Chain A
Amino acid sequence: MDLNKYTALFLAESREHLTSCNRLLLDWEREPGSTVAVDGLFRAIHSLKGMAATMGYGRLADLAHRTEHLLDAIRGGRAPGGAGVIDLLLKAVDALERGVDEAAAGGDAGFDAEQLAAALEAAAAAPGTGAPGPTDTASGAIADHGDEPGRVVRVEIRRDSPLIGARALLALRRAGQLGKVSGVMPPESGFDADGFDGRFTFKLDAPLSESELVAAIERAGDVASVAVDADTMQTAEWRIPAAAVPAAAAAPAARSGQVRVDRRRLDALMSQVGELVVARNRLLEMAQQDSGGELEAVGARISRLVSDLQTEIIQARMTPIWQVFDRFPRAVRDLARQLGKQVRFEMEGEGIEIDRAILDELGDPLLHLLRNAVDHGLEGPDERQRKGKPGEGRLLLSAERGHSSVAIRIQDDGRGIDRAAILAKAKREGLVGAEVSALSDDLLLRVLGRPGFSTAEQVSSVSGRGVGIDVVLTRVRAHGGAVEISTTPGGGTTFTIRLPLTLAILRVLTARIGDERYLLPLSYVAETIEFDLQPSTAVHGREAIVLRDRVIPTVHLRALLGVETGVVPPRRPGLVLEVGDRRSAVVVDALMGQQEVVVEPFDAPRGTPPLFSGATILADGTPALILDAAALV
């Protein structure tokens, strides 16, 4: 059997299981009495073991087996839980992650985790609490079911097994030799029904450990998996208490009816649709000259179909944000430990979906900001207590959906950024003029975003490596997004990252200035106005307009972009741009309507002012630049 074609699937699914393991371990660390985490861990590692063994990754399967064995012992009360064991299991998960990557890259022959395996074995052999469950509270919960003995066993026969129902019956007979079997679902009589898929559950009362039980049932042959719940059966369904298990752990079970698609395939599809959109725009232009003719009718129909297709594919690329968020709790925990800080890390809005291409780019910048927050933002417990704050610092990562964008916030309740110190440093480095007396949020962000400008007094080992704020800004802006900062001395710092929900195709407003055309992302255009009819004023020496009692600074694109062609029309339109709570009124010569464009990356030559977020090719084949809304407000 050629296993290569399963490698990608193995990799994706294993990583998913391991990510959920990380999360479950942190849950367990927070709530040592919970059995949900241990059960979930056991299931995830067990699945990983089965997959690794099937792929022929013996060393990996062996480590998974030892990890599973320890978890089994903890569940059975034969080995203790506790912080030491959680650390060990985190290490095991790290090693398994490494092993999975290595194995998928070319086999696990070089994978060596002997020391870890020995440690796992020792932990599994440690005297347990004498009662099942990781802690006494847990054992109490289980003992309550003493009047209804037996554990729920779930067996899955391999799909390719011939006569799957007969095989299932053999497995049930094997179980029957171990102890009393009851509550078989579906009932035995349904095993040879046509629709039987080889999965069944039953209750088994047998004085055996879980691994003994699993091994015995597996001896029926063609058994894909055996799982044992420590609890009594309540329904015939796999009980994954939705409220108690984080989304990541529940996801593999909830995915039925979905198909995994290689993202390269999705990207190829997307880029083809992108080209189709360009061709459609060209067709629509041609159709305009054939007003009322057949070409216009066909053009309109094709246009609708392309739009629908585009919507579908964008939808297919939408991915819940937890796929990136999920790795953060572990990273924050490890970092907090390393720095001796107490951090309560919370996440909100993980269910929000965003274009996978953006998501993939988001991980590193977010991780950097989180690291910064733990390293520089949050104080140590002593310092916090001296300041009258709780010893445990709060760090919140949240995502919130707007109409066509998503706002991701990283909020800490730490010491805040010392504006005076940053200002002094910026002056020393000549980044701001001596006349500047205070840093506004906006200017602060621009200073922090300078390449090589470090916020730390001394660059620590933690935040010193990896990307700086400048890279965060560059990455976010490259995707048509914007970054904002707000900070209060002693109160904490919040970074807000705004991103479009999708980036491959952008809705833009085309503006003409002289004989040049520029594009503005529609998601940042709050309204269009007739500029020359607005009362104008000045704020801090800058021209501004008054719009519904609000003073909005004016930006003349003709001057800003140095356009010298054409004549300034007597009446000019203006666009009110809104990025976060900042606004500006952008004055152009004329507006030429909305369209969808395919965003091409644009590497500005050195020395070009950072005014553009990308470029595109218009329907007539001309290149055009997309203005960065965040740079104009």
Chain B
Amino acid sequence: MSHTVLVCDDAIFMRTMISDILTQAGFEVVGEAETGVQAVEKFRQLKPDLVTMDIVMPDMGGIDAVREICRESPEAKILMCSAMGQQALVVEAIQAGAKDFVVKPFQPSRVLEAVQRVLG
């Protein structure tokens, strides 16, 4: 019984990479989103165990998406994907309800550790 994941990122490269890391670790990637609006919609629809969320996305940013998702489902488990130098944004995302974060460039082990912490 594997955990389900929704991967939100505007770059295909990043979505592919995150999906690969998680799939290889036995997770089931049930959906992908390219924008914040899509992320909120897909979350309602799929009710995944975990969301990975890029911060900077078109349409609606990742932080607004986190705020929206957590307003509807406070138990949502969201892992922020950020870059160095985005500390203020990550802090904002955590205040909005994100549970953990990983920093690009991704190291598979760090991603999986963070996922474990969020789900554990």
Chain A residues near B (Cβ < 8 Å): 162-163, 165-166, 169-170, 173, 191-192, 219-221
Is B86 an interface position by the 8 A CB rule? yes
**Are B84 and A169 closer than 8 Å at their CB atoms?**
no
Residues of B close to A170: CB separation below 8 A: 94, 99-101
Partner among A162, A192, A220, A221 whose Cβ is within 8 Å of the Cβ of B88: A192
Closest CB of chain B to A215's CB: distance in Å? Answer: 11
Residues of A close to B90: CB separation below 8 A: 163, 166
In the assembled complex, 5 residue pairs joining A and B whose CB atoms fall closer than 8 Å, in A order, are A165-B91, A169-B94, A170-B99, A219-B120, A221-B113
Is B114 an interface position by the 8 A CB rule? yes
Most buried by A among B87, B88, B94, B100: B87
Interface size on B, residues (CB 8 A): 17
Partner among B95, B99, B101 whose Cβ is within 8 Å of the Cβ of A163: B101
| Contact status of A169 and B91, CB under 8 A, knowing A162-B103, A221-B100 | yes
**Are A163 and B94 closer than 8 Å at their CB atoms?**
no
| Contact status of A163 and B117, CB under 8 A, knowing A173-B94, A191-B91, A221-B100 | no
Most buried by A among B91, B103, B120: B91
Residues of B close to A191: CB separation below 8 A: 91
Closest CB of chain B to A192's CB: distance in Å? Answer: 5
Is B35 an interface position by the 8 A CB rule? no
CB-contacts of B59-84 with A (<8 A): 82, 84
Closest CB of chain B to A224's CB: distance in Å? Answer: 15
Closest CB of chain A to B74's CB: distance in Å? Answer: 12
Most buried by B among A165, A170, A173: A170
Closest CB of chain B to A389's CB: distance in Å? Answer: 64
Residues of B close to A221: CB separation below 8 A: 100, 113-114, 117
Residues of B close to A192: CB separation below 8 A: 87-88, 91
**Are B114 and A163 closer than 8 Å at their CB atoms?**
no
CA distance A191 to B92 in the complex (A): 12
Residues of B close to A163: CB separation below 8 A: 82, 84, 86-87, 90, 101, 103
Residues of A close to B86: CB separation below 8 A: 163
Question: In the complex, what residue of chain A is closest to B97 when comparing beta carbons?
Answer: A173
Question: In the complex, what residue of chain A is closest to B120 when comparing beta carbons?
Answer: A219
Residues of A contacting B: mostly: loop
Closest CB of chain B to A173's CB: distance in Å? Answer: 7
Partner among A162, A165, A169, A220 whose Cβ is within 8 Å of the Cβ of B117: A220
Closest CB of chain A to B19's CB: distance in Å? Answer: 22
CA distance A371 to B84 in the complex (A): 60
Closest CB of chain B to A367's CB: distance in Å? Answer: 48
CA distance A191 to B84 in the complex (A): 15
Most buried by A among B84, B90, B120: B90
Question: In the complex, what residue of chain B is closest to A221 when comparing beta carbons?
Answer: B117
- A163-B86, A165-B91, A221-B117 known, 4 other contacts, Cβ within 8 Å: A165-B87, A170-B94, A220-B100, A221-B113
CA distance A612 to B106 in the complex (A): 69
Residues of A close to B117: CB separation below 8 A: 219-221
CA distance A135 to B17 in the complex (A): 57
Please name the 3 residue pairs, one residue from A and one from B, whose CB atoms are nearest each other, closest first: A162-B103, A166-B90, A163-B87
**Are A166 and B94 closer than 8 Å at their CB atoms?**
yes
CA distance A221 to B84 in the complex (A): 17
CA distance A169 to B101 in the complex (A): 11
CA distance A377 to B117 in the complex (A): 62
Closest CB of chain B to A194's CB: distance in Å? Answer: 10
CA distance A192 to B82 in the complex (A): 15
CA distance A166 to B90 in the complex (A): 6
Residues of A close to B88: CB separation below 8 A: 192
CA distance A165 to B99 in the complex (A): 14
